[in-house]
Chain A
Amino acid sequence: MELSELQHRLIKRLRDGLPIGKRPYANIANDLGTTEETVIETLEQLIAHKVINRFGMIIRHRALGYQANAMCVFDIGDDAAPDIGKAMATLPYVTLCYRRERVAGVWPYNLYCMIHGRDRLTVRAQIRHLIARLELHDAPHKVLFSKQCFTQRAGKYGAPTASASLSASGAASTQTIPFPIKSGKYHEQA
Chain B
Amino acid sequence: MNKLERDLINNLQGGFPICTHPFQVLADRLGYHEETIIDGVKKLISDGYVSRFGPLYNTERLGGAVTLAAIAVPLDRFDEVAEQVNAFDEVAHNYAREDALNMWFVILAEDEKNLQHVITRIENATGLRVLSFPKEREYFLELHLEVPDQ
Give chain A's interface residues, CB within 8 Å of chain B: 1, 3, 11, 14-18, 20-26, 36, 40, 43-44, 46-47, 49-61, 63-64, 66, 69, 71, 82, 85-86, 88-89, 94-103, 106-107, 110, 112, 114, 116, 142, 144-179, 182-184, 186
Measured between beta carbons, the chain B residues less than 8 angstroms from A156 are 89-90, 108
Q: Known: A47-B18, A51-B62. Is A170-B139 also a contact (CB below 8 A)?
A: no
Task: Tell me whether B29 is interfacial, beta carbon within 8 Å.
Answer: no
A184–B105 Cα gap in the complex (Å)? 14
Q: List 17 A-B contacts (CB under 8 A).
A: A18-B16, A20-B41, A26-B20, A47-B18, A53-B141, A56-B53, A71-B104, A95-B142, A95-B144, A97-B140, A144-B104, A155-B108, A157-B109, A170-B133, A172-B66, A174-B56, A176-B51
Interface digits, B114-150 against A, CB 8 Å rule (1 contact, 0 not)? Answer: 0000000000000000011111111111111101000
User: Which B residues lie at the A interface, using CB under 8 A?
Assistant: 1, 8-9, 12-16, 18-24, 34, 38, 41-42, 44-62, 64, 66-68, 79-80, 82-84, 86, 89-99, 101, 104-110, 131-145, 147
B34 to A: closest C-beta gap in Å: 7
Interface centre among A69, A88, A160 (most CB of B within 10 A): A160
Q: Is the interface of A mostly helix, strand, loop or mixed?
A: mixed
9 cross-chain pairs, A with B, having the tightest CB-CB distances, nearest first: A184-B83, A159-B57, A155-B108, A172-B59, A89-B140, A162-B143, A170-B68, A89-B139, A97-B139
Q: Which of A3, A61, A178 contacts B45 (CB 8 A)?
A: A178
Additional A-B contact list (5), CB under 8 Å, known A56-B12, A160-B108: A54-B141, A82-B137, A94-B140, A100-B68, A168-B68
Q: Is the CB of B38 within 8 A of A99?
A: no
Residue of B nearest to A84 (CB): B139
A165 touches B136 (CB 8 A): no
Q: CB-CB < 8 A to B141: which residues of A?
A: 53-54, 96, 161, 171
Q: A55-B14, A146-B96, A160-B93 are in contact. Are A14 and B54 (CB under 8 A)?
A: yes
Contact B86 A150 (CB under 8 A): yes
Q: How far is the CA of A146 from the CA of B56 in the complex (A)?
A: 23
Query: Is the CB–CB distance between B38 and A22 below 8 Å?
Result: yes
